Chains A and B, each alone.
Chain A
Amino acid sequence: MRTLDGRVALVLNVGTWLASAVIALGLALPVGPPLVMTGIALLVALPILRVTLVLIDSLRAKDRRIAAICAAVLLIIAFGIVLSARTHATGG
């Protein structure tokens, strides 16, 4: 089985190329912007997925402190997104 470093490296590498390919396709095809947006959303999701991988790994290793820190980082990111969505919805 791969080490955590190896798994994270693989996910980030494949993810970047996948997201880039979707963006490139969106720029080349007439359907355009929605596909480009999907590629951008994939890029944004990639580091979040990476923190999740570290979280799963630390849970498996019963490394509670690092697991709690990973969970807190994910919560902060989620909080920022929810906060923005709400200000966006209320328009203020």
Chain B
Amino acid sequence: MRSRHRVSGAEAKLSPAFGAYLFAASLGASAIGGMLGMAGGILVVPILTASGIGIRTAITSSIVSVIACSCGSAAPFLRRGLTNIRLAVVLELATTLGAVTGVSLAGLVPTSILFFLFAAILLLSAKQMLTRRGEPAPAEAVSPTGWGTALRLHSSYPDDAGGTDKPYVVERVGPAMMLMYGAGLISALLGIGSGVLKIPAMDSALRLPLKVSSATSNFMIGVTAAASAGAYLVRGDIVPTIAGPVALGSVVGAVLGARILMAVSSERIRLLFVGVLGLLAIQMLLAAFGVHVGVA
């Protein structure tokens, strides 16, 4: 079986108007995602497939925009000392390995299964949106033999309330690595940041403070996506006329989304978002069974 897909002539040559539409749609998806503190990739792929773009091209375009959003939004978190760079690099061992596995599988998985998997991830995200994420109980006992200690992953972060830094420990790195491998695989296979799978790993295994976990997860997504995008790039699976406007729209949207976040109440957006995720899941499920509902 061939491991790469062919790009149709219609996909390679696009009108400027369709490019502008892709830019605007990605901007919207990324802005809404940014307002809720999640990557817009999960919205980009369904929007692209609904616009008549093949799911494999949608996935490789989305993965490029995932890198752009991760890199473009990393600086403020790094400057505030929320990103744990050492922990990120350790976990990236697992996510990049997962990404390489995902790319190898990508050509072998039938498109109907891709649609089906995507629908499942959308539903999982909707469920995660509904159940509010609480601050996990901090890990207590620091075993001197753990990876966290051996690799000096324990750190501290600035707490808003006080002026001093709060220390935290990093435990159970092993189980987290297993979950991260899965997250990397799904990220490469579906063209998403896979935050939906990273959050449980960060919360249940590592038990990091919420802010540290969000910042570190977002930081890692860039390297994970670069591992798969690099491989897709040399395979010739990335279509510049589609991936270009999508990446550009996503970067602008992420910047706007972070700004709007301050101004609008997030409770209504959250519910709206759950509804949107549900609708997209239905659309992807229908597509898995060969029924395509298009918007453009």
Contact = CB atoms under 8 A, between A and B. Distances in A.
B230 A83 contact: no
A2 to B, nearest CB: 10
Given A34-B240, A84-B103, 14 more contacts: A5-B79, A5-B83, A6-B78, A13-B74, A17-B72, A24-B248, A33-B241, A36-B241, A36-B243, A36-B244, A37-B240, A63-B152, A77-B100, A87-B4
| 10 A-B pairs closest in CB distance | A80-B100, A36-B240, A84-B231, A36-B244, A47-B222, A9-B75, A9-B78, A47-B226, A16-B72, A47-B223
Contacts of B225: 47
A87 B108 CA distance: 13
A40 B238 contact: yes
Contacts of B232: 84
Interface of B: prevailing SS: helix
A43 B67 contact: yes
Contact of B89 (A19, A39, A66, A84): A66
B62 to A, nearest CB: 13
Contact of B233 (A13, A40, A65, A70): A40
A69 interface: yes
Nearest to A57: B85
Contact of A12 (B74, B81, B151, B247): B74
Contacts of A12: 71-72, 74-75, 78, 222
Interface in A1-45: 4-6, 8-10, 12-13, 15-17, 19-20, 23-24, 26-27, 32-34, 36-37, 39-41, 43-45
A23 B226 contact: no
A51 to B, nearest CB: 6
Interface residues of A, number: 53
A77 B227 contact: yes
Given A8-B78, A9-B79, A39-B244, A27 B71 contact: no
A56 B3 CA distance: 36
A60 B70 CA distance: 27
A84 to B, nearest CB: 4
A27 B20 CA distance: 10
B243 A81 contact: no
A72 B91 CA distance: 12
